[in-house]
Amino acid sequence: MIQEIEDAYSFVFEKELLQEISEVGNLKTFDENDRIIEIGDHVTSMPLLLNGAIKILREDKEGDELLLYFLERGDTCAMTLSCCLGHTKSEIRAVAEMETSLVMIPIEKMEEWTSKYKSWRNFVFESYHSRLSEMLDTIDTIAFLNMDERLLKYLRDKAKINQNEIVQITHQQIAYDLHTSRVVISRLLKKLELKGKISLQRNSIQVIDL
Amino acid sequence: MIQEIEDAYSFVFEKELLQEISEVGNLKTFDENDRIIEIGDHVTSMPLLLNGAIKILREDKEGDELLLYFLERGDTCAMTLSCCLGHTKSEIRAVAEMETSLVMIPIEKMEEWTSKYKSWRNFVFESYHSRLSEMLDTIDTIAFLNMDERLLKYLRDKAKINQNEIVQITHQQIAYDLHTSRVVISRLLKKLELKGKISLQRNSIQVIDL
DNA sequence: TATCCTATGTAACCAATGTTACTGTACACG
DNA sequence: CGTGTACAGTAACATTGGTTACATAGGATA
């Protein structure tokens, strides 16, 4: 296990901390679409992403979802971090975007490491910083872009995360993530195809205009 | 100056830190509608709010604005904090909502205090936590609510911040904050008035349904 | 092959929001 | 007291996105 942690975090943490992580950390793996954290969950440990990718979702009272952002190798969920430190329940849902492995750090270690390791402090602050930026980006997207632009951005992000210009997904699933209806997505996808930006197949979409 | 700092932060920081703050902190005051931070500004100090209120705005490429949230006494701008620590430029605009006073802390002190004072660490983490929550709330609002609901929420927030059920504002200004047009706001305000939730006067709105 | 299920395409219509254009009104100021 | 300017009301129309309904196609399986 130490090897995977080193691969993903050796440029971030000092040797001693890496050692501690591999001692107290709990390795977990998830398959695609597994739910990692549920809204309202009491969070007692903090995840460090080793491999794979996670999508973070928000839900309203009616149960409608909205994709907030993706997390990749080397990221942590600042939202969860925030819950840990504030001892509050999770305000978001985390779902494995693909096969994913992560180390869970018990929250007791958090404060200890915060005073002990400067690299840990920096990591925590850096995580907050990138998450706030991601949130701003999300707000820009939903506030300033039309659905067709949001859709194209979504497909590009998805292609990037999966390192594959062919995105395996149904129109219905896109509709869930963007908080709209399947018909709207089908309609806009067709328009994007006519403009030459994508190519449509059953169960998959090729992003041409990356 | 030490007195104002004590009034606003004595329940948060230990005596010693309060003392340091009043030594190195730079007191500044702003009038209503003064711009405190501009997008792209290089941030070299971190504000602690003593009195008044600040609104935080986002802007798109076309210069259209969107209100993110308000800050009140005892708050700090986690976004600015984040910029300080990451040595990046401001991604938001901060405008005084009323007469406002704040202490500016030079960023050099940030790291020092983070290792030295536990109360400071907690304050910083707590700030990040509340800002992430605010951002989630903002996302909920723009993603899940219709314009009439957003408008009512806006007026309630505004009334709360100003501690006055009569909000002094023009339809045009509301339109800027909610990123829509004046005509739309006038139309919806009229509907809200007919429903008995508000009462309209020139340059002001009384919020009845708080 | 017949059948069934899921995914997709599309028309027709509706609701919410944005735009343009014009009107009226309060208020400041010469 | 007249006039200009900012603010507000509203009609008419355009556009975007959401809904309903139905048709068709791909692919799995009996």
> Which pLDDT tens digit goes with each residue over A30-87?
999 999 999 999 988 999 999 999 999 999 988 899 999 999 999 998 888 887 777 8
Q: Quick one: A181 and A198 in the same domain?
A: yes
Q: Quick one: B114 and B61 in the same domain?
A: yes
Number of domains in chain B: 2
Residue from B67, B120, B135 whose CB has the most chain A CBs within 10 Å, to mutate: B135
Q: Quick one: A132 and A177 in the same domain?
A: no
E-state strands within B12-124? 26-30, 35-37, 45-51, 53-59, 65-72, 93-96, 100-106
Q: Quick one: B111 and B26 in the same domain?
A: yes
Q: Quick one: A74 and A159 in the same domain?
A: no
**What token pair was written down for B33?**
């509608």
Residue B1, chain A, CB below 8 Å: the answer is no
CB contact under 8 A, B60 and A140: yes
Q: What confidence tens digit (pLDDT) does each residue in B104-145 have?
A: 999 999 889 988 998 998 899 889 989 999 999 999 999 999
The sign of the dihedral angle between the CA atoms of A85, B142, B144, A191 is: negative
pLDDT at B1: 60
Residue B138, chain A, CB below 8 Å: the answer is yes
Q: Quick one: A109 and A159 in the same domain?
A: no
Residue B86, chain A, CB below 8 Å: the answer is yes
Phi, psi values for residue B167, rounded to 5°: -100, 120
Q: What confidence tens digit (pLDDT) does each residue in B59-104 have?
A: 998 899 999 999 999 999 888 888 777 778 999 999 999 999 999 9
pLDDT at B2: 78
For residue B160, the enclosing domain spans 146-207
Residue A1's pLDDT band, with cuts at 50, 70 and 90, is low
Q: Which of A68, A118, A136 sits opposite B91 (nearest CB)?
A: A136
B118: nearest CA in chain A?
A: A115
Q: Which of A60, A85, A136 sits opposite B144 (nearest CB)?
A: A60
Q: Quick one: A139 and A150 in the same domain?
A: no
Q: Quick one: B158 and B103 in the same domain?
A: no
- 3-state SS of B135-176 is HHHHHHHHHHCCHHHHHHHHHHHHHHHCCCCEEECCHHHHHH
CATH of the domain at A74: 2.60.120.10
How far is it, in rounded angstroms, from Cα B191 to Cα A98?
A: 48
DSSP A178: H
